[in-house]
Amino acid sequence: MPKKSKKQDTSDSDSGPDDVTPAKKSKTESKSSKPKSEEENSWSLGKNRFVKLTEFKNTWYINIREYYNSDGELKPGKKGIMLTMEQWQKFKGCMDEIDEAIKKNV
């Protein structure tokens, strides 16, 4: 089979999928520069795991994620899930059944 030559993309348009991760903050920003609402909308689950209420592109999400320590700053890792408000409501509706299953099996 003939090898295909790799052409460099010179297009200025972004035809790829939307990036769901907001732009990285510069390293000069300190932890104290986080908006007060971001600090208020965060709950620790222990062992660097957090539940956070976050807004992205004018939509609110529940983000349950494991964080890692990088140069003294906690950063979000790949391990986690981001739920829409609809998914969050469905999850909350299952809580009684989940608690019953835990009681039966644990």
Specify whether the backbone of 71 is left (phi greater than 0), alpha (psi in -120 to 50) or beta. left
What pTM, to 2 d.p., does this model score? 0.60
Smallest Cα–Cα separation from 63: which of 93, 47, 77? 77
> What is the domain partition of the chain in residue ranges?
34-105
| Mean pLDDT of the chain, nearest integer | 77
- How is domain 34-105 classified at the CATH fold level? Transcriptional Co-activator pc4; Chain A (2.30.31)
Q: Is the pLDDT of residue 106 over 60?
A: yes
What digits encode the pLDDT tens for the residues 46-62? 999 999 999 999 999 99
Q: Given this model, what pLDDT does residue 8 score?
A: 47
